Amino acid sequence: MLFAPDLRVREVEIARRVAEHVPVFALDRSEAVNTSDNSLGARLAMRRRLAFGGTRVLEDGKVTRVTMPVWPATGPLFNRLAAWGNNRRIAALVERFGCTHVFHGNPFFFLPPAPGRRKYRVHFDVIDNFHDEWRGGVVARSRRRFLQDAMRRADTLSACSHSLCEQAEELAGRRAAYAPNGAARAALLQCPPEQGARVRARLGLEGRFVVGFIGNHRMAFDGMEMLLDAWLVARAARPELALLVVGPGSDRVAGPRRLGPAEGVHCVGPVKPDEVAAYLHACDAGVHPYVPRPVTEDATPLNVVEFSTCGKPVLCSPLRELKRLAWPNLTFAAHNADEWGRALANPATFPKFDPDDLASRLHAFDWDRTAEVVRTEMGL
């Protein structure tokens, strides 16, 4: 089985579990694309690295990581040309490693031939609402057509939210299996409380009300600017507040603004996957300040799933899928600094809730279950 083209958290968690049943080869482009520099020069350099990198094995294991040259999509005129080139390379990898199935979650990466015209089966995993990011014009129409083609050419589909399952039906007339983002449920629930206490002690957070924001903070829509504006207002009213930001790019906004421990802002950067549970348990509550837009509204945020699995209350932007889930630990505030400042300053924002009610709603949000849904759907 070949995973392509990205290895983000969702792909890693699913690939690891599928690899318990079948050999998995994963196309990993992270060496080329992981950068927080969004300048034109950096983007051009990234495209050059993608296009001219060699084909090689990066790491052997249960999940064998490989890399190959990739033609990045560059807009409506070249999307299909890039996809055609990438499809030829994917076919070569499938042949080289003897794969019978391809799993992919990026509709602009390649367009496989229709079923019956290829020797391998394709599963398309819908993880974002790409086509509604632009409401009109050539780009919007081309993205919509491309996404429709990706769905129609796949043998099987899954989607990470109810909204995206409905969009698969609307756009392509296809059923997508509901396979939501999850959490390593057993590991999070079995994390000893003293691990979280050690994180708090190391950062000097004893006696503080710790609010956590854990994830990838390289994205412009993560709401970090708004959160920090709201934070300074809230902390003036509640000096016991502390903000713990964990993950790649955590200092992207706070650093240039010179916000640090003196202002109650603690940015620790990326941590090892097996340490994430300790940081989640070190927090009293979580926040998810993402900017409402199609690509965020219709996803199931990992940050929220993980905090919820740990039984923590979470303050969120009013994102469509989260409002639809309506978990009892979620509180919503309009996405602006004034509303969030008032919410953070109010202890009632993070109320007590029935933990049994929450736990009963979270059974589907487990990576073991999600991987099983995908594996079953693919016929593996």
What residue ranges do the domains of the chain occupy? Answer: 2-182+367-378, 185-361
> Residue 83: pLDDT above 90?
no
Q: What is the spatial order of strands in the sheet that 285-288 belongs to?
A: 265-269, 241-246, 209-214, 285-288, 314-316, 330-332
Mean pLDDT of 5-24: 90
Fold of 2-182+367-378: Rossmann fold (3.40.50)
Token pair for residue 320?
């469509």
CATH fold match for the domains 2-182+367-378 and 185-361:
yes
CA atoms within 13 A on the CB side of 378: 28
Mean pLDDT of 167-195: 94
Mean pLDDT of 293-307: 93
For 120-151, what is each residue's pLDDT tens digit? Answer: 999 999 998 766 766 667 777 888 888 899 99
Confidence of residue 31 (pLDDT cuts 50, 70, 90): low
Query: For position 261, what pLDDT does the model report?
Result: 95
Instruction: Return the CATH number of the domain spanning residue range 185-361.
Output: 3.40.50.2000
For 208-261, what is each residue's pLDDT tens digit? Answer: 999 999 998 988 899 999 999 999 999 999 999 999 999 999 998 999 999 999
Q: Are 330 and 349 in contact (CB under 8 A)?
A: no
Phi and psi (nearest 5°) for 285? -155, 165
Mean pLDDT of 267-295: 95
Q: Fill in the amino acid letter for 169.
A: E
> Which of 141, 140, 273 has its CA nearest to residue 215?
273
| Integer Cα distance of 33 and 45 in angstroms | 10
- Mean pLDDT lowest among 23-37, 82-96, 336-350, 357-371: 23-37
> Which of 228, 227, 1 has its CA nearest to residue 122?
1
Query: For position 49, what pLDDT does the model report?
Result: 77
| Integer Cα distance of 192 and 190 in angstroms | 6
| Integer Cα distance of 322 and 326 in angstroms | 6
